[in-house]
A and B are shown apart, each in its own frame.
Chain A
Amino acid sequence: MEIAQIIGLALVTTILLLILRQEKPVMAVVLSIVFSIVIFIVMMGKMASILNVMQELTRRAEVNYFFFATLLKILGVAYLGEFAAAICQDAGEQAVAKKVEFASKIIIAVLALPIMIAILESLIQIMPG
């Protein structure tokens, strides 16, 4: 019943945030950052076991490991970018949140370039002539 712990923590944090937001909005933002980080760290343990299974499947299917590593990197960038953008949006800074999302999109595109090149190369090999 790990979800019960997380729900309890979330509700307690919500009440504390409601109290803090009236007096010290900065402290409220910091508390929401800390809550996000705690949930993230707790969930990363589970994520690691999922990724281990996927790694094992990749090894058995004899897919090129490079693609899986790129996929993992993209996943990490996406999660971190989403995390930071959500906090910025929560604090009312829409412009900063949009810039974080923009940067994470561009970094993901750069990471995905080698995969795109591999697809194009295999397409060229398949095509006759």
Chain B
Amino acid sequence: MNIDIIFRIAGIGILISVLSIVLKQAKKEEQAEMLTLAGVVVVLIMVVQLMNQLFLVVRSVFNM
């Protein structure tokens, strides 16, 4: 079971939200936006790998 990926993604999300609040307080709005975008891309790559695994499992279970 790969449960730790849930906590990894939640951790990335909380970290990014805190960092973007800090950057916004320091009047660096564009960098906060870029940080958010980079975080979303990193998380999306992880999700795509996980989804590939899911489709392989479903395909092998249901003989599709």
A interface, CB within 8 angstroms of B: 9, 12-13, 16, 19-20, 23-24, 26-28, 30-31, 33-35, 37-38, 40-42, 44, 47-48, 51, 69, 72-73, 75-77, 79-80
Contact = CB atoms under 8 A, between A and B. Distances in A.
Given A31-B6, A33-B47, A38-B5, A44 B61 contact: yes
Contact of A27 (B1, B13, B51, B54): B13
> SS class of chain B's interface: helix, strand, loop or mixed?
helix
A79 to B, nearest CB: 7
28 contacts: A12-B6, A16-B14, A19-B14, A20-B14, A23-B17, A23-B20, A24-B16, A24-B36, A27-B39, A30-B43, A31-B9, A33-B47, A34-B46, A34-B47, A37-B47, A37-B50, A37-B51, A38-B5, A41-B53, A44-B61, A47-B61, A69-B63, A73-B62, A73-B63, A73-B64, A76-B64, A77-B64, A79-B58
